[in-house]
Homo-oligomer: A and B are copies of this chain.
Amino acid sequence: MNQKVKQLMARKKLRVAGLMSGTSADGIDAAIIEFDGRAVNLLAFEMVPYPRKIQNNIFELFSPETSRVDQICHMNFLLGELFAQALVGLAEKNKIPLSSIDLIGSHGQTIFHRPLGRTVNGRKIRSTLQIGEPSIIAERTGITTVADFRPRDIAVGGEGAPLVPFADYLLFSHKTKSRVLQNIGGIANLTWLEAGGTPEDILAFDTGPGNMIIDRTISLMTHGRQKYDEGGKLASRGQINEKWLKQLMKNPYFRRKPPKSTGRERFGVQFTDELYRQFIKEGISPQDILATMTAFTAWTIAEACRRFLPAKIDEMILCGGGAWNETLIGHLRLQLPQTKVATMNDFGINPDAKEAISFAILAYATIKGVANNVPSATGAKKRVVLGKIIP
């Protein structure tokens, strides 16, 4: 079996699958690419939504109050099965034989992330927890799998996130143009690629909420009937409440210097529910709340660029679900007038597939023994090879 690992190490061009589920826990992104260390050829992509019941079960794991060890144990294996099924299904639909896929990179589903750590006997213990058992994925597919990328970065003093900058650099760095890769998932994160820069020049961090607050607001507005604001249409009809917008901007996260990462712990259901109650109490209409939350989310991104990036941004390349929110993009264009704001589609890469592609690329590096964290992004003290290899 490990003969196979040896052979993988020796080959340059590999067919690699990437599996990923983000903080929103919408479903599993599965991508199959061909990669030779620089150029990506996307062969197939699909987002397989979690069944509603599973999604609810995952949400229960996020919260210390409702989480239980028996459920975490069970869901780890159940999600492993679902991750494997997502890939098997994708390969079948696209007539790609599983046996032609050399390697899988699986991020799993984050259920907890404590990048700042907790102090024990004067020592800071950072931690993160992803589930979606990779032994199941490797066994069901018969493909060597690399998973659990975040812990090794934490082991060298990093926050374990963000990890995609490594892939961003390989795919998008440009000799004469400074670029920002802006992913807007549940949480939004950017990667700064300076014109002609090296990996050492990369800056990458979570700018703050992505779709997390917007999606929850919609869900509250529609009593769960709607999960997201399609195209940003609903937000476009509301009025921004400037008083509250200013209030929201005071959150200390936006002043904290990168590297930094955040998650559901800060901008999750609790945060939005509390705000929503206060807004309603003040007589603000749901549509105006949504408009304000959308403007706020856009501001967090623009503000991060203004405050922390060292030079003019020539191009901002959007990906993630938020790249379809026209109202959000409109705000970004207004707030960053010198920057060309485009979506990743314009660069020939399906933006929805970008995260999954990134974990395929990370797995490729791991199997090659190439260090694949970006210390300037995670705060790690050194470069390391991330992940666990399941032969």
| A residues 191-227 touching B (CB-CB < 8 Å) | none
Contact status B64-A69, CB under 8 Å: yes
Contact status B135-A148, CB under 8 Å: yes
Alpha-carbon separation in the docked complex, A93 to B72 (Å): 38
| A residues 114-145 touching B (CB-CB < 8 Å) | 114, 118, 120, 123, 125-129, 133-136, 138-140
| A residues 253-304 touching B (CB-CB < 8 Å) | none
Which residue on B lies nearest to A151, using beta carbons? B135
A361 interface residue (CB < 8 Å to B) = no
Q: Which of B5, B62, B388 contacts A390 (CB 8 A)?
A: B388
Given known pairs A139-B152, A139-B156, the reply for A76 and B129 (CB within 8 Å) is yes
Residues of the B chain whose Cβ atoms lie less than 8 Å from the Cβ of A156: 139
Residues of the B chain whose Cβ atoms lie less than 8 Å from the Cβ of A73: 111-114, 127-129
Contact status B125-A81, CB under 8 Å: yes
A9 interface residue (CB < 8 Å to B) = yes
Q: Which of B2, B371, B384 contacts A367 (CB 8 A)?
A: B2
A13 interface residue (CB < 8 Å to B) = no
Contact status B77-A151, CB under 8 Å: yes
Alpha-carbon separation in the docked complex, A147 to B138 (Å): 15
| Number of chain A residues whose Cβ lies closer than 8 Å to a Cβ of chain B | 62
Given known pairs A67-B69, A69-B62, A138-B152, the reply for A118 and B74 (CB within 8 Å) is yes
Contact status A135-B154, CB under 8 Å: yes
Given known pairs A67-B68, A69-B61, A391-B385, the reply for A77 and B154 (CB within 8 Å) is yes
Alpha-carbon separation in the docked complex, A65 to B6 (Å): 45
Residue-by-residue, is A40-83 near B (CB-CB < 8 Å gives 1, otherwise 0)? Answer: 00000000000000000000011111011111111011101100
Alpha-carbon separation in the docked complex, A331 to B6 (Å): 52
Contact status A1-B390, CB under 8 Å: no
Interface centre among A72, A133, A369, A389 (most CB of B within 10 A): A72
Q: Which of B367, B385, B388 contacts A388 (CB 8 A)?
A: B388
Which residue on B lies nearest to A153, using beta carbons? B135
Alpha-carbon separation in the docked complex, A63 to B74 (Å): 14
Alpha-carbon separation in the docked complex, A366 to B388 (Å): 13
Nearest CB of chain B from residue A116's CB, rounded to whole Å: 12
Residues of the B chain whose Cβ atoms lie less than 8 Å from the Cβ of A155: 80, 133, 135-136, 138-140
A368 interface residue (CB < 8 Å to B) = yes
Nearest CB of chain B from residue A137's CB, rounded to whole Å: 9
Interface centre among A62, A136, A155 (most CB of B within 10 A): A155
Residues of the B chain whose Cβ atoms lie less than 8 Å from the Cβ of A65: 68
Contact status B391-A391, CB under 8 Å: no
- Residue positions of A touching B, CB distance < 8 A: 1-3, 5-6, 9, 61-65, 67-74, 76-78, 80-81, 111-114, 118, 120, 123, 125-129, 133-136, 138-140, 147-148, 151-152, 154-156, 366-369, 371, 384-385, 387-391
